[in-house]
Structure 1
Amino acid sequence: MYQNFYEFGFKLGAKPGEPGYKGIKHYIFSNSMQFVSNDEVVLIQEDTLGFIEDLKKQEEGKIWLCGGGELAGSLLENKLIDQLVLKVNPILVGEGISLFGSRKPSLNLGLVDSKQYSNGVIKSTYDIHY
């Protein structure tokens, strides 16, 4: 089962089926959540890899994965992630969720862009070379 980043928003007052980001279609991958899908938020409970493979063929533009280390690791193993965008915040928390869950990939990355913000955040974008 994938840990679901979407559920974190419930602690902040969001409700199941509501988009976290307005104007962006959401696909929520969860085996434990229950809500009715709508035009903005679609719940996917099975065949995650097949769904994402099909989505990549059908959709134009970018598909963003937010949260979910186990899901990200699975997608990476199946070569379904093309680019990695990392934000480094100037805060040390001591522990947290692994970027790729239980997987420990060895990646060949090519830097595409890097930007430093006035608040100390650094955002780096990398192409993944399989």
Structure 2
Amino acid sequence: MHPIIYDVAVSADGFIAGPNADISAFPSEGDVLSDYLARLQSYKTVLMGRATYEFGYDYGLAPGDNPYPWAESIVVSTGLSLPDGASVTQWRDLTDSALRELRQASDGPIYLCGGGHLAAQLMNMGQIDQLRLKRAPILLGSGTQLFDGLVRRPRLTLSDQTDYGHGLIYQAFTVG
């Protein structure tokens, strides 16, 4: 079974985006970005919530298009309306059995790319195996939380860390 990995940039105060889904304060160049883009290519399936999927519309993604064309993309949403022939799959319900089937059917690791509400749902279900944080030395004050609605408090074990300088740190954790 393949792991579900939450790989995301986060501010020092725990937000993955500021108000109105603003990500402009996060670093957008350098080794941290090139390392992230290299990791993206290793993911074979992408799991995301509606707001994360629709965020792509601001960058030219059309409804139904796959933002990660090398991977199978799944959008978890009851309120999203996709056109016929969409190149993404929509799940209206998130169940342990569906996630178990996904883990078995995927050709490799599963990338949870957001958002914070879906991440909390998966963590509360015990379905996130790894947490990969690109920790930025910024304060956003409000916005989208890393985990919005987290109840479960699993143990995290540091498995990798890279200091990119200027306070920018990548940390990978195994979720126990």
- TM-score, scaled relative to structure 2: 0.63
Q: Provide the identity percentage.
A: 31
Give, in whole Å, the separation in 2 of the partners of 1:117 and 1:16. 36
The residue aligned with 2:68 is 21
2:116 to 60, 65, 69: 69
Query: 8 Å contact 2:50–2:75 — kept in the other structure?
Result: no
The residue aligned with 2:89 is 42
Q: CA, structure 1 residues 38+55, in 2 after alignment: closer, same or farther (shift >3 Å)?
A: farther
Q: CA, structure 1 residues 88+70, in 2 after alignment: closer, same or farther (shift >3 Å)?
A: same
Q: More relative contact order in 1 or in 2 (CA 8 Å, sep 6+)?
A: 2
Q: Deviations 1:69-127 (Å, cap 9, x if unpaired)?
A: 22211211221111111111222211122222122432211111111235753211100
- TM-score, scaled relative to structure 1: 0.83
Give, in whole Å, the separation in 2 of the partners of 1:120 and 1:18. 36
Task: Note the C-alpha offset of 1:34.
Answer: 1.0
Give, in whole Å, the separation in 2 of the partners of 1:13 and 1:60. 28
The residue aligned with 2:23 is none
Structure 1 stretches of 5 or more lacking a match? none
Task: Note the C-alpha offset of 1:58.
Answer: 2.1
The residue aligned with 2:174 is 127
Structure 2 stretches of 5 or more lacking a match? 1-48
